């Protein structure tokens, strides 16, 4: 049964450190005599702290005049409780009879505290009321890269300004769960002032490195998102898709595959592909990706089946098998070719009739696809309608946005650009809308956002598809109400800004997935400008090369180079995933490496040769002295081998080379390529 005695602390400093040390020493003696454990707690508290340890006693923060209880649950401890209670009731008159003993207890507790501070994995910084650092543990050294010997005794804000510790002392408020970036590391911090009798005695910061957690969280999110996207793609394509593992057992079939061959998904999973099509001969050539099969289903419809090996970390993991209806492929190919010819003709005709605003003169190109896009952009400049610019990375979306601004009625006003993907989502709102003084820690003065800065002019929101859902809702309200509200602000601010947005993201797919708001999409997509990739306007490459050589010549004070026909031909056959930006970088690199006034194929990246065919053959032709030119048969064999390697089937290789399936098959037998 619990025994307890109540005592009123009568010491002007309360249960301070030295008194706590005396109580702990006395408790140790009493506990040893009566073989019990004594505890101290506030009145009405459920649990207390051991009386024989200094730090727990001090942590109670008992003030002068407060009532506490000494108690014990040990049997026969009444006398022990009474003895320590009597000792505590004399706190006002307590003297230090044995200074060395008390100092020894304090020293032991101090050393214990230091060991605890040094052994924890979280960073710990403590400072006094003047902001001078007096504790800086091992974890703090590792996270910040600052040695304790260099920082102890120094001003906190001068050495660790990211933590804004002076504001902690001034505000007297705790700040918990704040995220900061220190160098390349993300940390989460808890900041607390040390307050005694309503006076700030210092402050403590505890922080943890969460960089790996952030990275793993992002990777997990990316994997889930990618898996969902891939699953949606596989289920919506018209091709039949079947995946098998390294044992050639079926692991996945999509809905079109089930319809083509009337194979229910639940009935085929884990079965070998050969068992599903027992009449077919699946050879090693097929599984290596170099062969194909023609399979007839129960309705006598013919399908062409090809396989692509899955290689992960240089290990074979299985195959992706694709099935397409043979007659449909031929019809689609003819239809696409016919439509492509009509499209090119109409684009060229349209380009001849439309005159562009002079603000678009610095955009290089004369192809029909580009001129059509710029014509739409030029018309859009006549009004203040919202414009959405679509196109792959490197196609010049910001260049077109600036041209629209210059061609419009707001050309004398600011053009303010913002890359939504480059700003962390938790900072994007303050960048766009600004904030008031004192809106959050560190907001020492008000700041105008991008919308206010662009007042009367144009704001360009690049990578709009990377904006999170919460910010999308706030942007939608700005577009609807034509007003913004600063963070911490009490009143809305009217704005007069034209909005031009740009993205290379598939917004329509994102709407289906729920990651992009449908109402915001319709607000932005008033006028759409689709910029073609460079591979769709290769006729502009010579003009772009000429422009870039002149620009780079002035930039680096280099002689203005010309480009050889072979090098230009390589550029015209390259597919340019990085578009115009990639071409400019190639020319810059070529001019830098060239030792003459000519950019040759040797000055350009080596992978360009792969787009033209055999590297060896190209080099031989380029340096031909009349004796070493390869034979036509050698060139033909190399071209067919490379086409088969790249496309995997006779039909696709034939389409790439302008030959039919039978001709490719005959050439393969002739040159023994199978």
**Which of 56-60, 182-186, 576-580 shows the highest mean pLDDT?**
576-580
What pLDDT does residue 614 have? 46
Is the pLDDT reported for residue 648 higher than 80? no
pLDDT tens, position by position, 132-158:
787 788 888 888 888 877 877 778 777
CATH number, domain 3-106: 3.30.1340.10
Give the residue extent of every domain in the chain.
Answer: 3-106, 120-209, 224-329, 354-532, 540-668
Our CA angle for 267, 223, 255, nearest 5°, is: 30
State pLDDT tens for residues 102-124.
Answer: 555 555 555 555 566 666 778 88
Q: Tell me the mean pLDDT in the region 215-226.
A: 76
Q: What is the pLDDT of residue 619?
A: 47
Q: What is the pLDDT of residue 613?
A: 52
- Reply yes or no on whether the pLDDT at 195 is more than 70: yes
In the block, tokens 């099935």 appear at: 323
Is residue 566 pLDDT above 80, yes or no?
yes
State the pLDDT at residue 388.
96
Q: What is the pLDDT of residue 532?
A: 92
Domain 540-668 grouped into CATH 1.10.10.10: no
pLDDT at 91: 65
Residue 624 has pLDDT above 60, yes or no: no
pLDDT above 70 as % of the chain: 89
User: Which residues lie across from 324 on neighbouring strands?
Assistant: 304
Decide: 43 and 121 in contact? Cβ < 8 Å. no
What value does the mean pLDDT take over residues 432-457?
A: 85
Helix (H) or strand (E) holding 291: none
- Confidence at residue 104, expressed as pLDDT on a 0 to 100 scale: 58
Q: Are 501 and 467 in contact (CB under 8 A)?
A: no
Looking at the DSSP assignment, which residues form a beta bridge with residue 318?
A: 245, 310
Tell me the DSSP string of 602-653.
GGS-TTHHHHHS-HHHHHHHHT--SS-PPPHHHHHHHHHHHHHHHH-SHHHH
Does domain 224-329 fall into CATH 3.40.80.10? no
Residue 69 bridge partners (DSSP): 6, 41
Q: Which of the two residues, 622 and 497, has the higher pLDDT score? A: 497
Residues 411 and 595: beta-carbon distance below 8 Å: no
Q: Are 520 and 475 in contact (CB under 8 A)?
A: yes
Q: Higher model confidence: residue 436 or residue 617?
A: 436
Lowest average pLDDT, out of 268-282, 385-399, 511-525, goes to 268-282
Residues 6 or more apart whose CB falls under 8 angstroms from that of 391 comprise 397, 502, 504, 530, 531, 532, 533
Burial 75-109 (b: 16+ CB within 10 A, else e): eebeebbebbbebbbebeebeeeeeeebeebbeeb
| Between residues 12 and 378, the one the model is more confident about | 378
Highest mean pLDDT among 15-19, 459-463, 557-561, 599-603: 459-463
pLDDT interval class at 333 (50, 70, 90): confident
120-209 and 224-329 agree in CATH topology: yes
In which band, very low, low, confident or very high, does the pLDDT at 618 lie, cut at 50, 70 and 90?
Answer: very low
CATH of domain 120-209: 3.30.450.20
- Give residue 98's pLDDT band: very low, low, confident or very high (50, 70, 90): low
Percent of the chain whose predicted confidence (pLDDT) is above 90:
26
Look at residue 47 in the predicted model and tell me its pLDDT: 82
Structure confidence at residue 466 (pLDDT): 92
Find which of 156-165, 261-270, 577-586 is predicted with most confidence, using mean pLDDT: 577-586
Give the CB-side neighbour count of residue 486, counting CA atoms within 13 A: 21
Q: Looking at 82-86, 528-532, 602-606, which range is the least confident one?
A: 602-606
pLDDT tens-digit series, residues 409-419? 999 999 999 99
Q: Is the pLDDT higher at 531 or at 160? A: 531
Region 66-91: mean pLDDT is 87
For the domain made up of 354-532, give the CATH fold.
Answer: Rossmann fold (3.40.50)
| pLDDT number for residue 615 | 42
Tell me the C-alpha distance between 258 and 273, whole Å.
Answer: 13
Instruction: Give the chain's mean pLDDT.
Output: 83
Which segment, 185-199, 392-406, 594-608, is predicted with the most confidence on average? Answer: 392-406
Question: pLDDT: is 289 or 166 the higher one?
Answer: 289
- Residue 58's pLDDT band (cuts 50, 70, 90): confident
Residue 92 has pLDDT above 80, yes or no: no
């Amino acid at each position: 049964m619990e025994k307890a005695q109540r005592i009123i602390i009568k010491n002007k400093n309360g249960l301070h450190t030295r008194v706590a040390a005396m109580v702990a020493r006395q408790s140790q003696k009493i506990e040893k005599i009566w073989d019990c454990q004594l505890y101290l707690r506030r009145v009405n508290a459920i649990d207390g702290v051991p009386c024989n340890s200094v730090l727990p006693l001090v942590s109670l923060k008992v003030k002068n005049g407060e009532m506490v209880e000494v108690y014990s649950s040990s049997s026969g401890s009444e006398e022990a409780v009474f003895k320590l209670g009597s000792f505590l009731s004399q706190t006002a008159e307590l003297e230090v009879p044995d200074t060395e003993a008390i100092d020894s207890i304090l020293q032991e507790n101090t050393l214990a505290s230091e060991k605890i501070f040094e052994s924890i994995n979280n960073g710990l910084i403590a400072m006094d009321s003047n902001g001078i650092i007096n504790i800086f543990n091992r974890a703090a050294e590792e996270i910040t890269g600052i040695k304790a010997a260099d920082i102890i005794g120094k001003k906190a804000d001068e050495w660790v300004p990211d933590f804004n510790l002076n504001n902690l002392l001034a505000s007297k408020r705790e700040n918990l769960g704040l995220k900061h970036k220190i160098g390349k590391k993300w940390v989460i911090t808890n900041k607390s002032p040390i307050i005694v009798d309503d006076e700030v005695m210092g402050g403590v910061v505890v922080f943890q490195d969460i960089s790996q957690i952030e990275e793993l969280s992002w990777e997990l999110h990316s994997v889930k998102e990618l898996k969902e996207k891939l699953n949606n793609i596989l289920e919506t394509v018209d091709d039949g898709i079947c995946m098998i593992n390294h044992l050639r057992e079926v692991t996945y079939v999509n809905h079109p595959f089930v319809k083509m061959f009337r194979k229910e998904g639940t009935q085929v999973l884990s079965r070998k592909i050969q068992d599903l099509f027992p009449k077919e001969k699946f050879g090693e050539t097929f599984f290596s990706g170099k062969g194909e099969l023609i399979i007839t289903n129960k309705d006598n419809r013919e399908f062409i089946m090809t396989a692509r090996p899955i290689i992960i970390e240089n290990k074979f993991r299985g195959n992706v098998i694709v099935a397409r209806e043979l007659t449909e492929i031929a019809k689609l190919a003819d239809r696409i070719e016919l439509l492509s010819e009509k499209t090119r003709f109409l684009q060229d005709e349209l380009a001849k009739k439309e005159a562009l605003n002079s603000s678009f003169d610095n955009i290089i190109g004369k192809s029909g696809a580009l001129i059509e896009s710029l014509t739409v952009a030029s018309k859009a400049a006549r009004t203040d309608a919202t414009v959405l610019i679509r196109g792959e990375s490197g196609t010049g979306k910001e260049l077109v946005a600036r041209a629209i601004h210059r061609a419009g009625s707001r050309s004398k006003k600011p053009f303010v650009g913002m890359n939504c993907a480059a700003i962390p989502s938790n900072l994007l709102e303050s960048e766009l809308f600004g904030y008031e003084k004192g809106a959050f820690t560190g907001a020492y003065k008000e700041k105008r956002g991008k919308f206010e800065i662009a007042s009367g002019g144009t704001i360009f929101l690049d990578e709009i598809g990377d904006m999170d859902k919460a910010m999308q809702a706030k942007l939608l309200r700005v577009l609807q109400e034509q007003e913004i509200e600063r963070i911490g602000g009490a009143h809305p601010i009217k704005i007069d800004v034209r909005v031009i947005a740009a993205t290379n993201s598939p917004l329509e797919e994102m709407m289906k997935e729920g990651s992009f708001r449908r109402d915001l999409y319709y607000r932005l997509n008033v006028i759409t400008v689709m910029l073609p990739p460079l591979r769709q306007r290769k006729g502009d490459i010579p003009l772009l090369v000429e422009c870039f050589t002149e620009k780079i010549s002035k930039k680096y004070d280099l002689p203005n180079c010309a480009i050889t026909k072979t090098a230009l031909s390589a550029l015209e056959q390259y597919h340019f995933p990085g578009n115009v930006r990639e071409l400019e970088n190639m020319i810059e690199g070529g001019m830098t490496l060239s030792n003459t006034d000519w950019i040759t194929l040797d000055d350009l990246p080596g992978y360009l040769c792969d787009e033209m065919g055999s590297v060896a053959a190209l080099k031989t032709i380029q340096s031909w002295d009349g004796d070493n030119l390869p034979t036509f048969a050698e060139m033909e064999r190399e071209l067919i081998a490379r086409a088969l390697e790249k496309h995997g089937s006779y039909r696709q290789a034939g389409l790439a080379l302008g030959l039919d399936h039978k001709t490719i098959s005959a050439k393969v037998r002739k040159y023994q390529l199978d």
